[in-house]
């Protein structure tokens, strides 16, 4: 099953492109880290996925071909936005009742149990809750839909470290118990690295990387060696970024396999996820994997 699939997806706002020609297919059963800097197009992609926006061109489908925003899609997709749309003057109990009335499927007993476990008073006004409790309330409502796909757009942005930890704990327990797919957007990789097993990297409105985290890391290595040895790099290696000066340079390269030989004088190390992501974000010419060999400063293309 594919939980999110796009083909040639583009979105423009008054002539400005937020997404450009995005092709993506995310299989079910993963916790997906949607990573990129502010303004990269992450929120636009997620709003398209839940039906809050419509594409300017191309297509997007969820849950094996359902149109986002259609009744069939809405029944299977939960959504938690950064600024959860909750009524501040309504009680917690009132919010749960409204959610029950608005959704075809809503497990009110589950939502109530989650709220009681967290210790949120049902009579409390939503506006009087802490940021952490507001986020937990939004998550409880989304999970009570029993969705096949849960979409979260920067839900941790306003939370303190303890609230983040508690939120992620509830999320991961629910994902494991329900077999639910999760797409989690953030520009802070450290929040996602320990919980995600699938990576989608968006920058400048384009998909730059997409795949299982272990496969993405296996397709890259970090090389360290003298700059004069750069011309001897094997043609199978595709440099993404070169850093350093003087006696040593450091390269992040795409490679067919971790055991493939490298040029004489270079030492190879496994790539680290944070380093890999930062390298792609700093290299505007990078493309999705697999892709063509990239040119890099000081290294001729072959």
Per-residue pLDDT of 179-194, as tens digits, reads: 899 999 987 777 778 8
Q: What is the pLDDT of residue 200?
A: 95
> Cα 256 to chain center, whole Å?
25
Buried b (16+ CB within 10 A) or exposed e, 109-140: eebbebbeeeebeeeeebeebeebbbbbbbbb
293 pLDDT tier (thresholds 50, 70, 90): very low
* pLDDT score recorded for residue 193: 80
**Chain centre to alpha carbon of residue 66:** 20
What is residue 195's DSSP assignment?
T
Does residue 68 sit in helix, strand or coil? coil
Region of 65 please: left (phi>0), alpha (psi -120 to 50) or beta: left
Residue recorded with tokens 């270079």: 266
Q: What are phi and psi of 213, to 5 degrees?
A: -60, -45
pLDDT tier for residue 238 given thresholds of 50, 70 and 90: confident
Q: Is the pLDDT of residue 209 over 80?
A: yes
Specify the pLDDT at position 187: 75
User: Strand 57-62 to strand 181-186: parallel, antiparallel, or no bridges (unpaired)?
Assistant: unpaired
Dist. CA 135–CA 138, nearest whole Å: 5
Give the start-end residues of each E strand in the chain: 2-13, 16-27, 31-35, 57-62, 77-80, 149-153, 181-186, 198-203, 206-212, 220-225, 238-243, 249-254, 267-270
pLDDT of 84 > 60? The answer is yes
Residue 155: closest CA among 125, 177, 132: 132
Query: Could you give all domains of the chain from N- to C-terminal order, each with its CATH number?
Result: 2-213 (3.40.50.300), 219-282 (3.30.70)
The single residue listed with the structure tokens 């380093």 is: 275
**Across residues 133-158, what is the average pLDDT?**
90
- Average pLDDT of the chain is 85
- Which pLDDT band holds residue 85 (cuts at 50, 70, 90)? low
For 39-83, the pLDDT digits (tens) are 899 999 999 999 999 999 999 999 999 999 999 999 999 999 877
Instruction: State what percent of residues in the chain have pLDDT above 70.
Output: 90
CA of residue 216 relative to chain centroid, distance: 14
Residue with more model confidence, 256 or 105 = 105
- Which residues make Cβ contacts (< 8 Å) with residue 51, sequence separation at least 6? 67, 68, 69, 70, 73, 74
Q: Is 22 helix (H, G, I), strand (E, B) or coil?
A: strand
pLDDT given at position 178: 86
Residue corresponding to tokens 């629910």: 174
The pLDDT of residue 285 is above 60: no
pLDDT tens-digit series, residues 90-142: 999 999 999 999 888 899 999 999 899 889 999 999 999 988 898 889 999 99
């Amino acid at each position: 099953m594919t939980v999110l699939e796009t083909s040639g997806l583009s979105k423009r706002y008054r002539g400005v492109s937020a997404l450009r020609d995005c092709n993506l297919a995310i299989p079910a059963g993963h916790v997906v880290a949607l990573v990129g800097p502010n303004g990269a197009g992450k929120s636009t992609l997620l709003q398209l996925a839940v039906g809050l926006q419509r594409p300017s061109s191309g297509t997007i489908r969820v849950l094996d071909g359902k149109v986002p925003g259609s009744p069939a899609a809405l029944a299977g997709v939960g959504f938690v936005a950064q600024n959860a749309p909750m009524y501040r003057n309504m009680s917690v109990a009132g919010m749960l009742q409204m959610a029950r009335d608005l959704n075809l499927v809503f497990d009110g007993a589950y939502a109530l149990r989650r709220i009681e476990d967290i210790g949120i008073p049902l009579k409390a006004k939503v506006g009087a809750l802490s940021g952490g409790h507001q986020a937990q309330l939004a998550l409880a409502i989304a999970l009570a839909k029993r969705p096949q796909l849960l979409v979260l757009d920067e839900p941790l942005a306003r939370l303190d470290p303890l609230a983040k930890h508690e939120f992620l704990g509830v999320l991961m327990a629910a994902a494991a118990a329900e077999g639910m797919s999760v797409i989690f957007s953030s520009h802070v990789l450290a929040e996602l690295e320990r919980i995600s097993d699938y990576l989608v990297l968006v920058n400048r409105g384009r998909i730059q990387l997409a795949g299982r985290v272990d496969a993405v890391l296996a397709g890259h290595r970090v090389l360290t060696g003298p700059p004069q040895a750069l011309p001897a790099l094997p043609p199978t290696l595709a440099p993404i970024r070169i850093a350093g000066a003087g006696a040593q340079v450091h390269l992040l390269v795409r490679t067919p396999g971790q055991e493939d030989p490298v040029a004489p004088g270079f030492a190879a190390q496994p790539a680290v996820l944070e380093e890999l992501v930062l390298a792609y974000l700093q290299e505007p010419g990078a493309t999705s994997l697999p892709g063509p060999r990239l040119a890099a400063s000081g290294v001729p293309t072959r």
